Amino acid sequence: MLKVGITGNIGSGKTTVSRIFEILGVPVFYADDAAKTVMVEDPILIDSLKKEFGGESYFDDGSLNRKHIASIVFHNETQLAKLNAIVHPAVFRAFDNWVGSIKEAPYVMKEAALLFESSSYKMCDKTIMVTAPLELRISRVMQRDNLSHAEVESRNARQFPEEKKTQLADFVIRNDDTELVIPQVLELHRKFSSLVQ
C-alpha cells in the first residue's frame, strides 16, 4: 500500500487539504488525533509515561493529567524529547495497525504536524508539504482557536521552518489564496493513483 505523508506548519491548512483527499476516497490517518488516543489506550505507552513522569500522569479514572505533563515539558526541551520518544513509537504502531486494517484504497495518507520533526516521513513513500505565508497562517489560527498573535507565533517557532520542510517534501500544495487548492489536490491524486496501477 502506497503511503503518503502530508504535513504543514500551524495554520497551513493540512487538515483542510486532507479532508479533500478523503472526499476523493483516500483513507487518512490523523496522527495528532491518534496521539491523543494512544496516550490513554496503549498499555506500553501508559507504563512508560508513568515511569518517566510519575503515577500522577494519569487520574484514577485512566484519563490523562495533561496539566501535569504540560508543566513538566512546556519549557524543558529534554523532557519534551523524552515525551516524544514515548509517544511517537506508539503512534507509529497505531498507524501500522490502521494500514493493516484498510482493505481497499488506491493509497493511504498520514496527516501529521510533526511528520519531518518526528522522522515519521521515513515510513512514507511520498510526502506533501502544505504551505501558506506566516501572517496568513497566524491570522487563520487566531480566528480558529481564539489565540493571540504572540501565542500562535510561539507555537509556530517550535516547528521546523517552512523552507526546511518544503525542501524535504516531494510535493508542495500552496494554500495561500493565490492558487486554487482543489486542482492541486486532483493533480496529486491522479499522480498517486497512477503510481499504484
Q: Rule CB under 6 A: which residues touch ligand ATP?
A: 8, 10-16, 113, 140-141, 144, 175, 181
Nearer to ligand ATP, 10 or 49 (CB): 10
Q: What's 170's DSSP letter?
A: S
Contacts of 4 (CB under 8 A, 6+ apart): 107, 108, 109, 110, 124, 125, 126, 127, 128, 192
CB 61, min distance to ligand ATP, A: 28
Nearer to ligand ATP, 12 or 120 (CB): 12
Nearer to ligand ATP, 17 or 90 (CB): 17
Contacts of 192 (CB under 8 A, 6+ apart): 2, 4, 106, 107, 126
**What are the φ and ψ backbone dihedral angles of 56, each rounded to 5 degrees?**
-75, 5
How would you list the strands of the sheet with 108-111, edge to edge? 28-30, 108-111, 3-8, 126-131, 171-174
CB 115, min distance to ligand ATP, A: 11
CB 80, min distance to ligand ATP, A: 17
CB 155, min distance to ligand ATP, A: 8
CB 7, min distance to ligand ATP, A: 8
Nearer to ligand ATP, 49 or 169 (CB): 169
Nearer to ligand ATP, 39 or 112 (CB): 112
